[in-house]
Amino acid sequence: MENDYMIKGPIFTGRTYQEYIQMFNLSIEKLKGKSILDCAAGASSFTPIMHSLGFDVKAVDTFYDKSPRILYQMCAEHLKVLKKALEKKGSYIWKFYKDPDEMFRERLKACKIFMSDYKMGKGERYIMADVRELPFPDDSFHLVLCSHLLYIYDHRLDWKFHLESINEMLRVSKGEVRIYPLVKEDGRKSIYLKRTLEHLQGKVDAKLERVDYIFRPSADEMLRLVKSLSVL
């Protein structure tokens, strides 16, 4: 039944640290001394691992007012649904993960890593906020990341949502904003990507950059918005 593979409301899962490094072409060497914000971070292991490596990193998500127990249950449940859905769909590219089982195991591990750090950093490193209204002053972070919120859900999140989110991430960044992916689930470029590029023309340096990560078809590019020179 189709409903077995659908989640009502926002999906709360998280990609691994290694997926983030590849999706955003990050170099740990270049990031030394830089502050980072992950927007709509979910249960990713990126923030906990970067924190354990000594980086100044924060994460925001609208679900970060919930208890660790509720978030873990939600993440484990959503990962199970995602695994079932991926077993049915033939369009995914099994390169980063060899199959849905491996994806499930690795992302559940990421979720556990997230959960143990969330217990300690809730309210400090993990802040409940909407990406359209970030509780930080202008120019707070060298790098702002956003994975799997914009573009991919352009059937549910309208242009106003995209515009407000991008403007807000640019406001709190003093360096760059990086967004991934730029395509919808079936691999077609989001209808809002061209509009974003038109809107930003003459304001920031906006470029598409190839990344060494692919899971959904054609999802091998990120959007890199550079506000000022040589911050990263």
Ligand X SMILES: C[S@@+](CC[C@H](N)C(=O)[O-])C[C@H]1O[C@@H](n2cnc3c(N)ncnc32)[C@H](O)[C@@H]1O
Amino acid type, 221: E
Q: Minimum CB separation from ligand X for residue 232, in Å?
A: 19
Q: Minimum CB separation from ligand X for residue 118, in Å?
A: 12
Residue 73, C-beta contacts closer than 8 angstroms, at least 6 positions apart: none
* 3-state SS class at 171: helix
> Would you tell me which residues interact with ligand X (CB under 6 A)?
10-15, 40-42, 44, 60-63, 130-131, 147-149
Q: Residue 63 in contact with residue 114, Cβ under 8 Å?
A: no
> Whose Cβ is closer to ligand X: residue 61's or residue 221's?
61
> Whose Cβ is closer to ligand X: residue 31's or residue 71's?
71
> Whose Cβ is closer to ligand X: residue 12's or residue 104's?
12
Q: Minimum CB separation from ligand X for residue 78, in Å?
A: 9
For tokens 């709190």, name the residue.
172
> Whose Cβ is closer to ligand X: residue 26's or residue 60's?
60
Q: Which helix (H) or strand (E) holds 225?
A: strand 221-226
Q: Minimum CB separation from ligand X for residue 201, in Å?
A: 25
Output the six-digit token pair for 175: 């360096």
